[in-house]
Amino acid sequence: MSLRIVAVAAMDAAKLEAEVSSELGRVAPSRSLGSVDGLVALEWHLPGDEDEAARLRARLIDKGHPVDTAVLPADSGRKRLLISDMDSTIIGQECLDELADFAGLKAEVSAITERAMRGELDFEGALTTRVAMLKGLGLDALEQAYSERITLNPGARTLVETMKADGAETVLVSGGFTYFTSRVAAAAGFHTHRGNTLIDDGKTLTGEVGRPILGREAKLSALDEFAAARGIGRGDVIAMGDGANDLAMIKASGLGIAYHAKPVVAAEAHAAIEHTDLRAALFFQGYEAKEFVS
């Protein structure tokens, strides 16, 4: 078995090569994947098995280099399906937390969100508790929260559009709400989206969530459903997220990426993005910078 190591960083190529090669036994990179907006990506090929891959991942992370790395089987390449979380992954915010700010409850709701994303609370229970706290909030707060607070994370649209141009399907799947997933999916360019539903009475939120609730297992089911529809296996899927409810789909996919993730997620992912942006997910698949679609 051979391994493919991809390193991405906001530094010049010579420095990146020196920092990573020092952890790989002074082996020179096999190729450069190019640079874009100050991000540089290099690729190495080394002999090794799954155990060696795990050791390399730990070594590269433990050294504290400001470098995002993926250690993958050498035959791991471009994926045919992108399935991604929304909150704190494709966008820089937690929509429910921002919505709660309009009810004067952001601190209380955010505290529950943080614990749920760390896996300390049951996702469904945490979701229904937070939504119940917003009972009576006017529907105009939804538009305010989206238009005033929600922003795409750097590289989000480039990731989606580049994979689409290469023939991949792109799906946004979220434990958040369809009011936001529909708008974020359109802004980032996703083919389709899934999320939970906020119940309202025509003027205000009722404090209820539509059933069934989309959580951890539903995200995994969505991965399998969309993969089957395209006639591909889990190995042809890239899945990304930051919270505990993303872990099942991240572990099941051929390339599972933890994006600025909670420790429980980062420990189980194939790769992590902590220092650069979402375009690293393209480099991890072997795309060259010159192929990126803005």
Catalytic residue, candidates 68, 85, 97, 242: 85
Distance CA 211, CA 194 (A): 13
DSSP 40-94: EEEEEEEE--HHHHHHHHHHHHHTT-S-EEEEEETT----SEEEE--TTTTBSS-
Residue 87: active-site member: yes
- Between the CA of residue 114 and those of 129, 177, 279, what are the distances in Å? 14, 17, 26
Task: Give the SS3 label for residue 200.
Answer: strand
End-to-end CA distance of the chain: 35
Residue 85: active-site member: yes
Beta strand pairing call for 255-259 and 271-273: parallel
- Between the CA of residue 161 and those of 165, 175, 268, what are the distances in Å? 6, 23, 27
Q: Using an 8 Å Cβ cutoff, are 201 and 110 in contact?
A: no
- Angle, helices 156-165 vs 178-188, to 10°: value is 70
Q: Using an 8 Å Cβ cutoff, are 268 and 247 in contact?
A: yes
- In this structure, which amino acid lies at residue 181? T
Catalytic residue, candidates 37, 49, 62, 87: 87
Q: Which residues are catalytic?
A: 85, 87
